[in-house]
Amino acid sequence: MKIEPSLKMSIFEPAIFGDLKAAAEAKKATGAELIDLSLGSPDLPPDEKVRRVLSEQSALATTYGYTLGGTKRFNEAVVNYYQRRSGVTLNPETEIIQTMGSQEGLVHLPFAFCNEGDIVLTTNPAYVAYDTGIKLAGAVPYYMPLRAENGFLPDLDAIPADVAAKAKLLILNLPGNPVPALPDATFFDKVVAFAKKHNILVLHDAAYSEYYFSGDSPISFLATPGAMEVGMEINSLSKSFSLAGARIAYIAGNAEMIRIIKQLKSNLDYGTFGPIQDAAVTALDNAEEITDRLRKVFTERHQVLMAGMRDIGWEATPSNGGMFVWAKYPYDMDDKAFVFEVIEQCGVVMVPGSIFGSEGAGFVRLALVQKVENIQKAVEQLKKLEICVAK
């Protein structure tokens, strides 16, 4: 039997994470200590209250039916969370839809709005799922470079007029993955004006909204005047509430956009397991307490790693939020080859920047997913790195 992949499978390049894991395991087998700063999977457990609700509800015989989407309690918890944290008022029936993690929502969303050949404005570098969704929908990505001279924010003024006129969707991620740039109200005002002028839908990926290290509330795109007319915000409970494996997220925003996504989603799945939704409600209802603890931990990790990068002469992108440090290393070496050399010499695992886009070449992404003492060890190990040719 001849078995061939579909033409669409050419979109999916083999992920580097398996190769990184294999290299790390080989190094570990030599007796070396590994410090893994690659995957952005929270190392902190979910709050005890959240785990207890999930356990108790899972034990009930009545909780194993289809949920067919977000429960009323879940949608209302999202609405209350937005009102408390960002001052945004949402309708739980028409302006919220649940997804099975933000990755599922991000990959499927372009199907709901983009036709073959439509242009989608996305950043370079960017989270890899954006490209996957764009290309599966048959749309065409237009890459907006994230560069130091613009504070690692996309320059909307640099988008050619003919591209803006044809664009259907704009995807933003602030603070982002891999670049943890933070927007301000002025930038989001500009996004709304740009979207209205060119009739472009906006999707803001707010996965790291609770990862801010100063101020007293997360920045929501939906809090921007006019944002509800042009866009949506997707957020998951994976990062802020350590529920990555539970796969639960939501999209909030413009009612007509949500209606269209609901139509698509009704043909894709039967909803997230009810006890996971109940656990998510508990997390959202206790967000202030839970995320305050999270920020204390990640603020310290961020400070230690940023100081460590400066100490060894790496150019860490200035940031005041996010789950990652984006750093330019001072060696004339391909970033993919570089990360494997670092594993071999130092036992520190990082992600090469170029997997997120061409603008990431020469950079690495380091995740804040280790205790402070391990981050300090990683910096000490990186001091021992010996690369023949320096820039």
54-112 pLDDT, tens digit each:
999 999 999 999 999 999 999 999 999 999 999 999 999 999 999 999 999 999 999 99
- Does residue 73 sit in helix, strand or coil? helix
Does 350 score more than 80 pLDDT?
A: yes
- pLDDT band per the 50, 70, 90 thresholds, residue 390: very low
Query: Which of 391, 118, 372, 106 has its CA nearest to residue 238?
Result: 106
Q: Let me know: does 177 contact 207? Beta carbons within 8 Å.
A: yes
pLDDT the model gives residue 391? 45
Q: What would the pLDDT profile of 199-249 be if each residue is shown by its tens digit?
A: 999 999 999 999 999 887 888 999 999 999 999 999 999 999 999 999 999
Q: List % helix, strand, coil for the chain (3-state, nearest 5).
A: 45, 15, 40
* Contact status, residue 278 vs residue 73, Cβ threshold 8 Å: yes
- In the DSSP assignment, the letter for residue 32 is P
Residue 2 to residue 182: CA distance in whole angstroms? 50
Q: Which residue has the tokens 């899972």?
A: 58
Q: Give the domains, in start order, of the chain with CATH numbers.
A: 7-45+289-382 (3.90.1150.10), 63-287 (3.40.640.10)
Q: Average the pLDDT over 146-161 and give the result.
A: 95
Instruction: Give the pLDDT band of residue 388 (cuts 50, 70, 90).
Output: low
pLDDT, tens digit, for every residue of 300-323?
999 999 999 999 999 999 999 999
